[in-house]
Chains A and B, each alone.
Chain A
Amino acid sequence: MRAFAYERPTRLADALALLAEPDSRPLAGGTDLIIRIRDGSVRPTTVVDLKRIGEFERGIRIEDGWLTIGARTVMTDLLRDDRIRSDYVALAEAAAVVGSVQIRNRATLAGNVCNASPAADTVPALLVYGARVLAVGPGGRRTIPIDDVFVRSGVTTLAPGELVAAVELPLPAGRRGAVHMRRTRRRGHDLASVTLACVIGTDGVTRLSYGSLGPRPLLAVDQTGVLADPRASDAAKAERLAELFAEASPSATSMRASPDYRLAMLRVLGMRAIATAAQRLAP
């Protein structure tokens, strides 16, 4: 691995100052960054470790009607949190399939967001739950709706030097059924060729989000109630799903799966997800 300098600020202001330098890179869990430094696709002069910054929490707490997940919170923390497990099932299920145990012990949710991988497993869940991101940077603090964060693979709307301090989820307004599903090349940990989250509320609205089918994960919302309607036919649901998935545009050059297989699997997982979510919603 190429040499770089390492800084471990304890104050956010110091971190932001360090990251204002060109070619400095923030380090959280490192499960993506270290790989990319080693393969040469990222060549930082300075790596700024965010894990000792007081303002960045490792933990999950409720504040002002939001469930706030601190920047240092790792996937394993999500899996162990009772609120995530009971109220944000799709996120818990997504976090459970990020890498292996060893990876989940290091990989942060904030890092999964910042990487902006089209295949990021937790992102569709964050999209269906209407999460927002608390960003801090030289220009101060702001919240960004999660759907406004992603541009394309590896590119977000975060400003240079801006960091994610927390990912926040709205508290559940009522009962809902949710699920995360994915397609991979094997059962053991793998990168998804389709990753999808679905949540159905008691109001009949179905929120679906899918990744790995284009440059960024997409959110599709069914307000018609067809997808949540137990009396609607499979054909009607499939037709509605096809409309909702119209923007899917899988890469033609990926070696993980062909575009037509991904699209077909998106429809299959879509049907399965709404069935499972509806089942989980049922009293």
Chain B
Amino acid sequence: MSDVVGVGVARVGGLDRVTGRQAYVADIPLDDVLHVKLVTLPVARARIGPIDSRAACDVPGVRLVMTSSDLPQPMPRFGPQRRDRPVIATGETKYHGDPVAAVAAETRDAAEEGARLVAVDYEELPALHTLSGALAADAPLVQDPALRAKDPHGSTNVLHEHRHSWGDMNAAARVADVVVEGRYRFPMVTQFAIEPHAFMAAPDGDGIAIWSAIQHPNWLQRVIAELLGLPLAKVRIHAPDPGGAFGGKQHAKYEPLLAFMARATGRPVRLVLSLEETFQAVRRGAAEVHIRAGFARDGRLLFRDLEANYLIGAYADIADRTVAKGSYTSMGPYRCPSARIVARSVLSHTVPSTAFRGFGNPQQIWAVESNMNEAARTLGIDPLELRLRNLAGPGETFIPGDTPADGDWAVTVRRAAELIGWSTPAPAGRGRGIAVGLKSGPTTGLSYATVRLLVDGSVVVYAGTSDMGQGARTIFAQIAADELGAPLDWVTVVSGDTSVVPYDQQTSASRSSVFMGSAVLGACRDIHVRLRSMAARLEGVDESEVMIGGGEVRIADRALSIRDVLARGLGRLGGEIIGVGEMRKDAEPDHPLGGTAAFYEFNCTAVEVDVDRETGDISIPRYVTVSDVGRALNPLQVRGQDEGAAVMGLGHTLMEQYIWDDHGRIRNLGAIDYRIPTSMDLPHSMVSDVVEHADGPGPHGAKGMSEGALLPVAPAVAAAVTDATGAVIRELPLTPERVWRALQR
């Protein structure tokens, strides 16, 4: 392709990351900054009584104790889907960790001491932290029905119900030879980025500056502008690279509170959450999914009837969108002639669930792919074969009205099967499992990029994507270097500052290589146009005779370097060529998701497990993950993303879950009792591979990737456990105790 695209070049920002120079929000010094500590209650739901902050204010160095009464009334609210989240709890706390006050002080110590001394009078109220509790007829309502006046579900805890159907379910049910039914549970888990969320705000002239490790700086800019009544141009969002985000840093959390505190004090304020507080700020929605699936004896899928209840938190955040997207594609990459899908977002007195790698899909894929594996056993058909018989072929429409299959997915499935050695029997005692995952990419999007080609041929790219570890800046640098004939280390990528970088809708849904990548490519092509006219003028030829490719200017059989053309064309005054690029995918109002999929992420995972039948311990001697990425623009980074997604998937598959007490408090708050995989918890052998058919919509045929390899982990591992032991487990995580218990039956 080229010597820079499709190559595992070293990460842009890598040097800063290995030398400790990479500045995350908490590393950025601000003169005269006040430190903020949140005040929370030791219960989930409570009626907030009088708050006495006198003792806190007496602590030397405390400058402000902010409570709801210090904020404009009615309380300003915000949220990406519904404006339901107050800047700070008002009237009632809704979940364990919902802050009732915030203390700003000259030192961290003083802020902590002040926070301890804020005396809150409160009355504990019954709290809901289970689906059955939240859906009970007499359940207390999480959200005030007055806020949901016109909502048909307003008098229940169902925030939204999504229904999709096609085909003729009843007819299909009559002719099905085999119906396989099950109920599957997916626990609450948390993003656990190693960088705890950190926020700063400071008065900035007649506006405000915010620092946040945010995935969507421009979205945050709108939220702050609206809450403070400022024009966008007076809200400057600094978005340094997040130290891991995984969806948990998409939307505003405490930035609005900090903005009001900066205004109240006239000083910069800084809030760095503890890890415990991040558990109380972001999580994935739990889900319970019931499926009935009908098959013909030859394995043809005839229908699926699926009902999913997601336990979301006390505020909507982006949770209902995860339910919408997760349920819309819940039939998977298969031909499913008849389908009925009902999915509900159910409010509870728990941490507001939000985006988390996979965005609502892992919950349903756990259920649907497990059901597929159970069907294979019932039908006596190899689970690989069952999938191949039902996979949509390239170009085939598999969800009515949506983007047809954009890859030859059977190739991916066969590759995974081949790499695990599916056709040969597993070693004695071991079991194998296979599963696939499909996720709809972005349904809308808008990214702008500006590229400046400087007089010496070096390049500055302005791209508003947040580089949270996926390596977006590296990809943009590769694209620009390739298009403009610059060495990679002559390209600088600027991001993370809304006052400097043009608008980008968001960094989510594995979109950035496709969306911002295309915008960067477009900006480079815009520069090509100007270069061509410059070269034509210099060489006295018609523009139509000038071609640009491979980083060179070509006129007939002559090749000129871009740098030479620039030097001559720009002349003594110097200057530069500025290119602008845009990638836009508009909303389609009639589509259930507001737009068709820009691409699909598709992955097949195959595993071999050993189960200790006496203890329930699962070990994974061999693990294979294969993703259809269209084109791996940087194979080193693709590998990192796929393997990372796989290990994250192993976390919720094997060990991760929130544990609640009767008061709706998180018992395993913090790193000691919320377990995530370590370097000792990996498969003994991990193979990650990609399928590259250059059939994606991004530069060089790339598709988005980064989430796919997480999607099918749990059903693949659970199927292997069943294969090894006969035990069928329909609830995650597959802790040793849960596996052991299943083996006792």
Please say whether the chains A and B touch (CB closer than 8 A).
yes
Q: Which residues of A contact B (CB under 8 A)?
A: 1-3, 183, 185-191, 255-258, 261, 264-265, 268
Nearest B residue (CB) for A189: B678
Q: Is B740 an interface residue (CB 8 A)?
A: yes
Chain A residue numbers with a CB within 8 Å of B672 are 191
Q: Are A186 and B654 in contact (CB under 8 A)?
A: yes
**Which residue on B lies nearest to A183, using beta carbons?**
B615
Q: Could you give, for residues 366-383 of chain B, a 1 whenever the CB lies within 8 Å of some chain A CB and a 0 otherwise?
A: 000000000000000000
Provide the bound-state CA to CA distance between A186 and B740, in Å: 15
Residues of chain B having any CB pair with chain A under 8 Å: 109, 112-113, 614-615, 654-655, 659, 667-668, 672-673, 675, 677-681, 735-737, 740-741
A148 to B677: give the CA distance in the assembly, Å: 38
Contact A187 B667, beta carbon cutoff 8 Å: no
**B678–A185 contact, CB under 8 A?**
no
* Given A255-B659, A265-B615; A188-B109 close (CB under 8 Å): no
A261 and B654 contact, Cβ closer than 8 Å, known pairs A186-B681, A255-B673: no
Chain A residues, Cβ within 8 Å of B668: 255
Chain A proximity of B611: nearest CB distance (Å):
14
* Residue of chain B at shortest CB distance from A35: B672
Asked if A187 and B673 make an inter-chain contact with CB atoms under 8 angstroms apart, the answer reads no
Cα–Cα distance between A264 and B737 once the two chains are bound (Å): 10
Q: Report how far A256 CA is from B657 CA in the complex, Å.
A: 12
Q: Which of A2, A3, A188, A261 is the one whose CB lies under 8 Å from B679?
A: A188
- The 8 lowest CB-CB distance pairs between A and B, nearest first, are A188-B678, A188-B680, A187-B680, A261-B737, A268-B614, A255-B659, A186-B681, A186-B675
Cross-chain contact of A185 among B614, B735, B740, B741 (Cβ < 8 A): B735
Q: A255-B668, A268-B615 are in contact. Are A187 and B681 (CB under 8 A)?
A: yes
Residue of A nearest to B274 (CB): A38
Q: How far is the CB of B484 from chain A (nearest CB, A)?
A: 46
Instruction: Let me know if A190 and B675 touch, CB within 8 A.
Output: yes
Distance in angstroms between the alpha carbons of A258 and B744 in the assembled complex: 15
State whether B673 touches A256 (Cβ < 8 A): yes
Smallest Cβ distance from A5 to chain B, in angstroms? 15
List A contacts of B615 (CB < 8 A).
183, 265, 268
Q: Chain B residues near A187: list those with CB within 8 A.
A: 678, 680-681
**11 A–B contacts from the bound complex (CB under 8 Å):** A1-B112, A2-B112, A183-B615, A183-B736, A186-B675, A186-B677, A186-B680, A187-B678, A188-B680, A258-B737, A264-B740
Q: Chain B contacts of A188 at CB under 8 A?
A: 677-681
In the assembled complex, the Cα of A189 lies from the Cα of B673 at a distance in Å of 11
B660 nearest CB neighbor, chain A only = A255
B113 neighbours in A (Cβ, 8 Å):
2
- Which residues of the other chain, B, contact A268 by a CB distance below 8 angstroms? 614-615
A152 to B208, alpha carbons, bound, how many Å?
Answer: 55
B741 contact set on A, CB distance < 8 A:
261
Distance between Cα atoms of A282 and B657 in the complex (Å): 44
Q: How far is the CB of B634 from chain A (nearest CB, A)?
A: 29
Contact partners of B679 in chain A: CB under 8 A: 188
Q: Chain A residues with Cβ under 8 A from B681's Cβ?
A: 186-188
Give bound CA distance, A91 to B206, whole Å: 66
> A183 CA to B739 CA in the complex, in Å?
14
Q: Is the CB of A185 within 8 A of B667?
A: no
Q: Which of B672, B677, B679, B736 has the most chain A CB atoms closer than 10 A to its own CB?
A: B736
Shortest beta-carbon distance from B654 to chain A in Å: 7
A255 touches B667 (CB 8 A): yes
Q: What's the nearest-Cβ distance from chain B to residue A241, in Å?
A: 14
Chain A residue with minimal CB distance to B670? A39
Chain A CB within 10 Å, residue with most, of B667, B675, B677, B679:
B675
Q: How distant is the Cα of A261 from the Cα of B614 in the complex, in angstroms?
A: 11
Q: Are A257 and B673 in contact (CB under 8 A)?
A: no
Known: A185-B655, A186-B654. A257 touches B675 (CB 8 A): no
In the complex, A257→B667 CA distance in Å? 14
Q: How far is the CB of B268 from chain A (nearest CB, A)?
A: 24
| Whole-angstrom CA separation of A187 from B677 in the bound complex | 8
Known: A186-B675, A188-B680. A257 touches B614 (CB 8 A): no
Set of chain A residues within 8 Å of B112, measured between Cβ atoms: 1-2
- Nearest chain A residue, comparing its CB with the CB of B619: A187
Q: In the complex, A182 Cα to B668 Cα: how many Å?
A: 21
Cα(A183)–Cα(B109), bound, Å:
39
Query: Beyond the given A187-B681, A264-B740, could you list 17 further A-B residue pairs with CB under 8 A, ordered by the A residue number?
Result: A2-B112, A3-B109, A185-B736, A186-B655, A186-B675, A186-B678, A188-B678, A188-B681, A191-B672, A255-B673, A256-B673, A258-B737, A261-B737, A261-B740, A261-B741, A268-B614, A268-B615
| Complex alpha-carbon distance, A185 and B679, angstroms | 14
A195: min CB distance to chain B, Å: 14
Q: How far is the CA of A188 from the CA of B671 in the complex (A)?
A: 13
Per the bound structure, the CA–CA distance linking A9 and B737 in Å amounts to 47
From A185, which residue of chain B is reached at the shortest CB distance? B675
The answer to whether A257 touches B680, judged by C-beta atoms less than 8 angstroms apart, is no
Tell me the bound Cα distance from A188 to B615 in angstroms: 17
Selected from A1, A186, A189, A257, the residue in CB contact (under 8 A) with B737 is A257
In the complex the two chains form, what is the Cα distance from A1 to B37 in whole Å?
A: 12
Q: Closest A residue to B276 by CB, please name it.
A: A39
**How many angstroms between the C-alpha atoms of A191 and B679 in the bound complex?**
17
The CA-CA distance from A185 to B672 in the complex, in Å, is 11
Separation of A280 and B673 alpha carbons in the complex (Å): 34
Q: Which residues of B contact A185 (CB under 8 A)?
A: 655, 675, 735-736
Question: Which residues of chain B are near A186, meaning CB under 8 Å?
Answer: 654-655, 675, 677-678, 680-681
Q: Which residues of B contact A3 (CB under 8 A)?
A: 109
* Chain B, residue nearest A269 (CB): B615
Chain A: which residue is nearest B673 at the CB level?
A: A255
Tell me the complex Cα distance, A71–B654, Å: 38
Please, which residue of chain B has its CB at the minimum distance from the CB of A3?
Answer: B109
Alpha-carbon distance between A3 and B108 when the two chains are bound, in angstroms: 12
Tell me the complex Cα distance, A256–B655, Å.
Answer: 11
Residues of B within 8 A of A258 (CB): 737
Residues in chain B near residue A189, CB distance under 8 A: 678
Q: Chain B nearest CB: distance from A134 CB in Å?
A: 31
In the docked arrangement, what's the CA distance between A265 and B113, Å?
44
Alpha-carbon distance A2/B44, docked complex (angstroms): 25
A3 to B109, CA, bound (A): 8
User: A276 CB to closest chain B CB, in angstroms?
Assistant: 14
CA distance A186 to B681 in the complex (A): 7
List chain B residues, Cβ under 8 A from A183: 615, 736
What residues of B have a CB within 8 angstroms of the CB of A256 in the complex? 673
Residues of B within 8 A of A190 (CB): 675
Write the nearest CB–CB distance from B580 to chain A, whole angstroms.
49
Closest partner residue, chain A, to B613 (CB atom): A268
Q: Please give the distance in Å from B609's CB to the nearest CB on chain A.
A: 14
Q: How far is the CA of A241 from the CA of B668 in the complex (A)?
A: 33
| Least CB separation from B740: chain A residue | A261
Cβ-closest chain A residue relative to B741: A261
A257 proximity list for chain B (CB < 8 A)? 737
Q: Which residue of A lies closest to B614 (CB)?
A: A268
The chain A residue with its CB closest to the CB of B735 is: A185
* Bound CA–CA A261/B615 (angstroms): 9
Instruction: Please name all residues of chain B whose beta carbon is closer than 8 Å to the beta carbon of A261 when the two chains form the complex.
Output: 737, 740-741
Q: Tell me, rounded to whole Å, the shortest Cβ–Cβ distance linking B573 to chain A.
A: 58
Q: How far apart sit A2 and B113, CA to CA, in the bound complex (Å)?
A: 7
Bound together, the chains give a CA A147 to CA B677 distance in angstroms of 36
B437 nearest CB across to chain A (Å): 24
* B678 nearest CB neighbor, chain A only: A188
Residue of A nearest to B108 (CB): A1
* Complex Cα spacing A266 to B526, Å: 70
- Min C-beta distance of A99 to chain B, whole Å: 11
* A187–B672 CA distance with the chains assembled, in angstroms: 14
Complex Cα–Cα for A1 and B655 (A)? 30
CB distance from A172 to the nearest CB of B (A): 31
Q: Distance (Å) between the CB of B629 and the closest chain A CB?
A: 30
Which residues does chain A contribute within 8 Å of B109, judged by CB atoms? 3
- Chain B residue numbers with a CB within 8 Å of A255 are 659, 667-668, 673
Residue of A nearest to B672 (CB): A191
Query: In the complex, A185→B668 CA distance in Å?
Result: 13
A contact residues around B737 at 8 Å (CB): 257-258, 261
Of B109, B615, B655, B679, chain A has the most CB atoms within 10 Å of the CB of: B615
